[in-house]
Structure 1
């Protein structure tokens, strides 16, 4: 990919929540964009770290012992194997960096939150 990516344009292209789209791929990683609202199920990823970067709104990552709140321009890296869930009281737009093979619901059972893989933005 050698073209400029306009994140605002990419986010404007969809309205559903918890359905990541791939904005770019590099070195075995996806740059995924997602709109979120509400609370995502508890899960972990045995073999892949996730980085959540907030683009718009307020977002949080909840761990069993604490909650980390993030504002636009802030990010957090969730280590492999660490149980967590994410959420936002109002709609937020988030950029996720993770290995391409990672399923968004990790080790949680397949549910309405399990997004189809490979969907491009």
Structure 2
């Protein structure tokens, strides 16, 4: 995966399920994960890691307890470590996530159908 061009449209076209991030690349202990989203993800936080969400396609929102941030394609947000949040999209969206490789997508929320297998690559 390193030293090679990554075609995002091709990679996103390689899967159809929602809330199951795929690792497209790794660098400096971080994953570049691709995920398709639709609906509402559970509330959670990550005590030891920030997360960066970059919208590639569609509309995406990050909900905090005190506000909602709406993102369009080409926009990103960094969720600080330890901050409770949930993500959502009314229609399907494609999002890139940058976070440490060991991060579990559901953070401190109980294991559920939203908990993705770790390290799944595309």
Paired position in structure 2 for 1:63? 64
Deviations 1:21-60 (A, max 9, x none): 0000000000000000000000000000000000000000
- Give RMSD over aligned pairs: 0.3
Paired position in structure 2 for 1:118? 119
d(CA) in 2 for partners of 1:2, 1:85: 33
Structure 1: unaligned runs, 5 residues or longer: none
TM-score (norm 1): 1.00
TM-score (norm 2): 0.99
- 3-state SS in 1 of match to 2:11: helix
d(CA) in 1 for partners of 2:99, 2:4: 21
d(CA) in 1 for partners of 2:59, 2:17: 17
- 3-state SS in 2 of match to 1:116: coil
| 1:26 is aligned to 2:32 | no
Paired position in structure 2 for 1:74? 75
